[in-house]
């Protein structure tokens, strides 16, 4: 049996969790609410993250647009996601919510703009 200590980010309380892992069985203690159990199980069985970054903008009033994955992607795909983001260039104008990269790193999840960028001039 393995034991991991983690801080829950499922709600603002930030409980200190103790997670005991025995094969597929996950036992969580230290949580104040059920969010801790859900968070720990997801983190052990299928860790995911939302990726935030910037993409190069051509002919924009600023050079880069902030962006993020629409939802969390598998943790193991973060470096592949970032490689695609680093290569990407988009033309101005850009609007919040525009899809900058479809199906990033084969995850089925899009990278979207989180800022408006106007065309230069």
pLDDT in tens, 50-91: 999 999 999 999 999 999 999 999 999 999 999 999 999 999
My answer on whether 108 and 57 are in the same domain is yes
My answer on whether 64 and 107 are in the same domain is yes
Output the pLDDT for position 121. Answer: 76
Residue 119 belongs to some domain of the structure: no
Instruction: Count how many domains the chain has.
Output: 2
pLDDT in tens, 26-43: 999 999 999 999 999 999
Domain that residue 30 falls in: 2-46
Instruction: Map residue 119 onto helix, strand or coil.
Output: strand
My answer on whether 60 and 37 are in the same domain is no
Q: What is the CATH number of the domain that holds 64?
A: 3.10.530.10
pTM (predicted TM-score): 0.84
The average confidence (pLDDT) of the chain is 96
My answer on whether 40 and 56 are in the same domain is no
The stretch 111-117 carries a mean pLDDT of 98
Q: What is the DSSP string of 51-113?
A: -EEEEEEETBSSSEEEEEESS-EEGGGHHHHHHHHHH-EEESPB-TT-EEESSGGGSS--EEE
């Amino acid at each position: 049996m393995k034991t991991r200590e983690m801080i829950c980010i499922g709600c603002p309380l930030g409980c200190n969790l103790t997670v005991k892992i025995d094969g597929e069985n996950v036992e969580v203690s230290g949580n104040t609410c059920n969010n801790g159990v859900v968070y720990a199980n997801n983190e052990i069985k299928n860790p995911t993250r939302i990726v935030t970054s910037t993409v190069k903008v051509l002919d924009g009033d600023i050079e880069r647009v902030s962006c993020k994955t629409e939802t969390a992607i598998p943790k193991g795909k973060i470096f592949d996601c970032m490689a695609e983001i680093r290569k990407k260039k988009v033309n101005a104008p850009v609007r919040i919510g525009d899809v900058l990269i479809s199906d990033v790193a084969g995850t089925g999840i899009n990278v979207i703009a989180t800022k408006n960028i106007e065309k230069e001039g």
